[in-house]
Amino acid sequence: MMAELSMCSSTSSSELTPEEERIMIRDIALAAEANTKEGETFYLITQRWWQHWIQYVNQEQTNNAYDGSSFSENYDLTNSSALKRPSGIDNSDLIYDGMSEDSGAGVEIHDTLLEGRDYVLLPQEVWKQLFTWYGGGPTLARKAICSGLSQTELAVEVYPLRLQLLVMPKGDRSTIRISKKETIGQLHKKACEIFDLQSDQVCIWDYYGRRKHALMNDLDKTLDDANIQMDQDILVEVLNNVNSTSSAQDNGSAQREANSALVEPSKSSLSIAGGLSASKGTSKSYNMELSSSQNLTSPIRDVDNTFGTSGVSTRGSSGGLTGLLNLGNTCFMNSAIQCLVHTPEFARYFREDYHQEINWQNPLGMVGELALAFGELLRKLWAPGRTPIAPRPFKAKLARFAPQFSGHNQHDSQELLAFLLDGLHEDLNRVKHKPYIKSRDADGRPDEEVADEYWANHIARNDSIIVDVCQGQYKSTLVCPVCNKVSVTFDPFMYLSLPLQSTTTRTMTVTVFTCDGTALPSAFTVTVPKQGRCRDLIQALSNACSLKHTERLLLVEIRNHLIQRFLEDPLISLSTVKDDDHLAAYKIPKTNKKTKYLQLIHRRREQNSESQTISGWKPYGTPMVSLISCDDAVTRGDIQVMVYRMLSPLLRKGSNCSDTNSGEACGGTISSNSLNKDGTDSKASIPKLPLQLVDDTNGCIDLSMGEEKVVKPSTSSPTVLVYVDWSQKLLEKYDTQPLENLPEVLKYGPVTKKARSEPLSLYTCLEAFLREEPLVPEDMWYCPQCKERRQASKKLDLWRLPEVLVIHLKRFSYSRSMKHKLETFVNFPIHDFDLTNYIANKNNSRRQLYELYALTNHYGSMGSGHYTAHIKLIEENRWFNFDDSHISPISEDEVNTAAAYVLFYRRVKTNDATVSNGA
Q: Which residues make Cβ contacts (< 8 Å) with residue 701, sequence separation at least 6?
A: 692, 693, 694, 695, 711
The torsion angles phi and psi of 892, rounded to 5 degrees, stand at -65, -30
Q: Say which amino acid occupies 749.
A: G
- Return the SS3 of 195: helix
Burial of residue 215, with CB atoms counted within 10 A of its CB: 0-12 exposed, 13-18 middle, 19 or more buried: middle
Reduce the DSSP state of residue 722 to 3 states and report it. strand
Catalytic option among 188, 203, 213, 331: 331
Give 737: exposed, middle or buried? Use CB within 10 Å, 0-12, 13-18, 19+. exposed
Alpha helices in 712-811 (DSSP H): 728-731, 737-740, 753-757, 762-770
- In a 3-state reduction of DSSP, which class is residue 729? helix
| Collapsed DSSP state (helix, strand, coil) of residue 726 | strand
Q: In what order do the strands lie in the sheet with 214-215?
A: 173-178, 161-168, 233-238, 202-206, 214-215
Residue 214 β-bridge partners: 206
Nearest to 902 by CA among 827, 808, 797: 808
CA distances to 260, 308, 801 from 303, rounded to whole Å, are 12, 10, 44
Catalytic residue among 52, 110, 820, 866: 866
Q: Rounded to whole angstroms, what are the CA distances from 903 to 98, 334, 425, 756, 854?
A: 44, 15, 20, 20, 6
Give the chain's end-to-end CA distance (angstroms, integer): 87
Omega of the bond leading into 138 within 30 degrees of 0 (cis): yes
DSSP secondary structure letters along 407-467: TT----HHHHHHHHHHHHHHHT-S-SSPPP-PPPP-TT--HHHHHHHHHHHHHHH--SHHH
What are residue 483's DSSP bridge partners? none
Question: Whole-angstrom Cα distance, residue 488 to residue 450?
Answer: 9
* Residue 858 is a catalytic residue: no
Tell me if 878 sits within 8 A of 871, measured CB to CB. Answer: no
**267 Cβ contact list (under 8 Å, min separation 6):** 306, 307, 308, 310, 311, 313
DSSP string, 669-689: EEE-SS-STT------EEEPP
DSSP result, 359-401: -TT-TTTTTTHHHHHHHHHHHHHHSS----B--HHHHHHHHHH
Q: Do the bridges between strand 233-238 and strand 161-168 make them parallel or antiparallel, or are there none, so unpaired?
A: parallel
| Strand runs labelled E in 486-613 | 486-493, 496-499, 505-514, 522-529, 551-559, 562-566, 582-589, 595-607
Q: Sign of torsion, CA 345 348 351 356?
A: negative
CB–CB of 323/388 below 8 Å? yes
Residue type at 11? Answer: T
Q: Which residues contact 846 (CB under 8 A, 6 or more apart)?
A: 910, 913, 914, 915
CA 686, CA 643: separation in Å to the nearest integer? 11
Q: What is the C-alpha radius of gyration for the chain, rounded to an integer number of angstroms?
A: 37
Q: How do beta strands 788-790 and 522-529 pair?
A: unpaired
Question: Is 545 a residue of the active site?
Answer: no
For residue 686, give the amino acid letter.
I
**Which residue numbers are catalytic?**
331, 866
